[in-house]
Amino acid sequence: MAENNKKKIMLTGDRPTGRLHIGHYVGSLRQRLIIQDDPDFEKIFIMIADAQALTDNADDPEKVRESVFQVALDYLSIGIDPKKTHILIQSQVPALHEITIYYMNLVTVARVQRNPTVKSEIQMRGFGEGSIPVGFFTYPISQASDITAFLATTVPVGEYQEPLLEQCREIVRKFNATYGEVLVEPEIYLPENKTCLRLPGTDGHAKMSKSLGNTIYLSDSEEVLKKKVMSMYTDPNHLRVEDPGTVEGNTVFTYLDAFCTDEQLHEIAPDYETLEDLKAHYRRGGLGDVKVKKILFRVLNDFLTPIRERRTYYEAHPEDVVEILREGTEEARKQTEETLKRMKQVMQIDYFDQWAEKFGTEA
Ligand code: TRP
């Protein structure tokens, strides 16, 4: 009944530390486009998490500031529709930061220390024992605030973010049990295609990341894309065209799995009906890397062409982008203020309202 009619709410976000790449696309951005057209969703929010980006980029605020606008362009260029999806800037929504303060009391230091995502990030960033910023260490708590302040049910993010969602659900349970049922437990929303969970870099490294220089950006030009694809990692033992090749762990095939449908392949290379046919040919021998790379280039270029076109439009109309961010941030303020108000009520720290009732004073 009432429960069943309850519509879903999406909230997700990205740290603005650079432009978004095709790994972001298959891991999380594509899911947002699906949700955008799903009538079960009542409200949809995407957050540019600049405050979170600053937790481990304190010495490079310029990079974060520039990336806020670039990430907004990335969203709009992939087809995020501001009529359906609110795009907001985290630092401009005060309730998020206020809520974080209260959540900090519901989480132990030991619990944060155990978080596998934080652990591996501390390692990756090369933070030594004595150099972890408090803000970085506690960002999972702030992220729980990001999600719950919107009463989000659904969070499309990369699989590696699951421990943060688990942390968030724990906070929700603790808050609701301690004070009263206000908050909603969110769920992660992952791609169905398992290849998309973690797209490797163009060099075959398990992760695509700017620091490794193995990314393909959504904003890459045709020329840059061609260069990157043609120098991609394949099967190091596939030396001559006639040699049998291996498809597993071969990045070119992994990308085809993530981006290319059978129909598309057949259109580009009519000799093949399905991706499986292409793989079989490669395994058998007689199919060269260059030919497969050319197919992949076509697939990715067809994918990026409309994205580049929309980006060019918005780059020429920055005032539209600013308006979209202003509107999204405004809506986010409303939504989060409302949640914060209800939280303060059940926490009974709405003193002036309580005294108004008790003493007839001004609320
Ligand atoms: N941690 C996310 C990332 O690294 C960014 C993020 C911030 C986020 N707040 C969020 C994701 C809330 C989902 C929900 O990309």
pLDDT band of residue 6 (cuts 50, 70, 90) is low
Looking at residue 128, its pLDDT comes to 81
Instruction: Evaluate if residue 105 carries a pLDDT over 60.
Output: yes
Q: How far apart are CA 49 and CA 15, in angstroms?
A: 5
State percent of the chain over pLDDT 70: 98
- pTM for the whole structure: 0.95
Contacts 24+ apart (CB under 8 A), 313-320: 314/73, 314/76, 314/77, 315/73, 318/69
Is the CB of residue 9 below 6 angstroms from any atom belonging to ligand 1?
Answer: no
Mean pLDDT of all residues in 188-194: 94
pLDDT band of residue 97 (cuts 50, 70, 90) is very high
Residue nearest to atom 8 of ligand 1 (CA): 13
| CA of 176 relative to ligand 1 center, distance in Å | 23
Give 276-291 pLDDT, tens digit per residue. Answer: 999 999 999 999 999 9
| CA of 52 relative to ligand 1 center, distance in Å | 8
Is the CB of residue 147 below 6 angstroms from any atom belonging to ligand 1?
Answer: yes
| CA of 147 relative to ligand 1 center, distance in Å | 9
Is the CB of residue 71 below 6 angstroms from any atom belonging to ligand 1?
Answer: no
Instruction: Evaluate if residue 151 carries a pLDDT over 60.
Output: yes
pLDDT band of residue 344 (cuts 50, 70, 90) is very high
Are 67 and 60 spatial neighbours (Cβ–Cβ below 8 Å)? no
Is the CB of residue 141 below 6 angstroms from any atom belonging to ligand 1?
Answer: no
Ligand 1 pocket mutation, candidates 17, 24, 47, criterion most atoms within 8 A of CB: 47
Mean pLDDT of all residues in 255-270: 97
Ligand 1 pocket mutation, candidates 10, 14, 54, 147, criterion most atoms within 8 A of CB: 14
State the number of CA atoms in the 13 A half-sphere of 148 facing the CB.
33
pLDDT band of residue 1 (cuts 50, 70, 90) is very low
CA 290 to centroid of chain Cα atoms: 32
Give 307-324 pLDDT, tens digit per residue. Answer: 999 999 999 999 999 999
Looking at residue 2, its pLDDT comes to 43
Give 64-80 pLDDT, tens digit per residue. Answer: 999 999 999 999 999 99
Contacts of 37 (CB under 8 A, 6+ apart): none
Q: Which residue has the tokens 């203020």?
A: 337
Instruction: Evaluate if residue 204 carries a pLDDT over 90.
Output: yes
Instruction: Evaluate if residue 126 carries a pLDDT over 60.
Output: yes
Is the CB of residue 15 below 6 angstroms from any atom belonging to ligand 1?
Answer: yes
Q: Identify the bridge partners of residue 21 per DSSP, sorted by sequence position.
A: 217
Helix H or strand E encompassing 94 = helix 94-103
